[in-house]
């Protein structure tokens, strides 16, 4: 967990802060926040060596989570990308999976859901661990 450098994207302050608190509870301290998709993309482009994990909301102004995912996948096909979304329908989940999302969390998710997701991803990504 110590090596995790997370970029947290989402326009809803309360939701984003909740995720930040949850990550801090897990012992993760390197957390960068972006309040929309465009800011997230710009931040990632400027600090891509400083980020090795992305958690993003789906619905965001300027750039949606799905657009962000697609753009990042072009340059970084392997970076873990967790989509958190209120869209629980199959077609939304499917389109995120087609764009190679690493994991998909349906909101509202619990601390346990997030913890399990991150643990599972880290298990499969030895480079971060």
Partner 1 sequence: MHPKYKHTAMKKDIVIAVIITAAVSYCLIAYDFFDWWYDYTREQEDWELDELLAVFFAILLAGTILSIRHIFTLNKLTKKLQNAHDTIAKKMSVEGHQEKLIAIGELSSGLAHEINNALQPTLGLGEFIKDGLKKSGNEKHLSYMETILDSAAHARQVTENVLAFSYEKETEATQQDAFYVLSRALKFCTNILPSTMTFNVSGLPDEEGMNKGNKATAPVTMNCDQTEISQIFMNVLKNSAAAMNHKGQIDIAFKQTRIPFSLTSAIRMTVTDTGYGMNEQTRARIFEPFFTTKEIDKGTGLGLSTVYSLITKYGGDITVTSEEGKGTIFTLFFPIVTKDDK
> Rule CB under 8 A: which residues touch partner 1?
12, 14-15, 17-19, 21-22, 25, 59, 86-91, 107-111, 114
- CB nearer partner 1, residue 84 or residue 102: 84
By beta-carbon proximity to partner 1, the closer residue of 44 and 58 is 58
Least distance to partner 1 from the beta carbon of 11, Å?
Answer: 10
Distance separating alpha carbons of residues 94 and 5, to the nearest angstrom: 27
How far apart are CB 36 and partner 1 at their closest, in Å? 15
Closest CA to 68 of 87, 50, 55, 52: 55
Residue 34's SS3 state is: strand
Q: Which is nearer to partner 1, 21 or 78 (CB)?
A: 21
Question: Smallest gap, in angstroms, from Cβ of residue 21 to partner 1?
Answer: 6
Report, in Å, the least distance between residue 90 CB and partner 1: 5
**Which tokens belong to 14?**
């309360």
Strand locations in 76-115 (E): 81-85, 103-106
Give dist(CA 100, CA 74) in Å, integer: 11
């Amino acid at each position: 967990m110590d090596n995790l450098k997370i970029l947290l994207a989402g326009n809803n302050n309360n939701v984003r802060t909740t995720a930040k608190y949850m990550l801090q509870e897990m012992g993760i301290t390197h957390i960068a926040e972006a309040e929309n998709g465009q800011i997230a993309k710009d931040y990632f482009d400027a600090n891509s060596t400083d980020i090795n994990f992305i958690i993003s909301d789906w619905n965001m102004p300027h750039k949606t989570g799905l657009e962000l995912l697609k753009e990042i996948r072009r340059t970084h096909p392997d970076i873990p990308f967790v989509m958190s979304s209120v869209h629980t329908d199959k077609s939304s989940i499917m389109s995120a999976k087609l764009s190679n999302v690493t994991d998909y969390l349906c909101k509202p998710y619990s601390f346990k859901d997030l913890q399990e997701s991150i643990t599972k991803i880290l298990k499969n990504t030895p480079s971060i661990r």
